[in-house]
C-alpha cells in the first residue's frame, strides 16, 4: 500500500511541475489540493518549493503574493540537519 501512496504522490508532483512550467506559476492552494497535508513533511515541502523555484515556477499564496524560500527557512534548516546527520 505504501508504494501506491508513493506512486500517487510522484504522479501528483509530476503533474504540478508540468502545469507550473507551462504557466510559470502555481498557487499554494493547487499544491495543497494535489498533495494534501500529511503527504509531505515540512522539509519535503520546502524541497518541492525549491525545485519549483529552480524550474522557474513561482509559488503564489492566496493573495497572489510570491512565496519566498526564506519564508520556509525552518523547513530548510530541518532538511539540512537531516542531511548532515547521515
* Per-residue confidence (pLDDT) for residue 85, from 0 to 100: 47
Q: Give per-residue pLDDT as tens, 60-82.
A: 999 999 988 887 765 445 445 54
Grid coordinates representing 86? 547521515
What is the per-residue pLDDT for 81?
56
Cell representation of residue 14:
509530476
HSE-CB for 44 with a 13 A CA cutoff: 11
Summarize pLDDT for 32-55 with one digit per residue, the tens.
Answer: 899 877 888 888 888 999 999 999
pTM over 0.75: no
Amino acid at each position: 500500500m505504501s508504494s501506491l501512496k508513493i506512486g500517487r504522490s510522484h504522479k501528483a508532483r509530476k503533474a504540478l511541475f508540468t502545469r507550473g512550467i507551462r504557466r510559470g506559476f502555481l498557487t499554494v492552494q493547487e499544491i495543497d489540493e494535489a498533495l494534501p497535508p500529511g503527504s509531505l513533511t515540512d522539509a519535503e515541502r520546502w524541497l518541492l518549493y525549491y525545485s519549483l523555484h529552480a524550474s522557474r515556477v513561482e509559488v503564489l499564496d492566496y493573495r497572489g503574493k510570491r512565496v519566498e524560500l526564506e519564508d520556509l527557512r525552518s523547513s530548510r534548516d530541518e532538511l539540512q540537519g537531516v542531511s548532515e546527520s547521515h
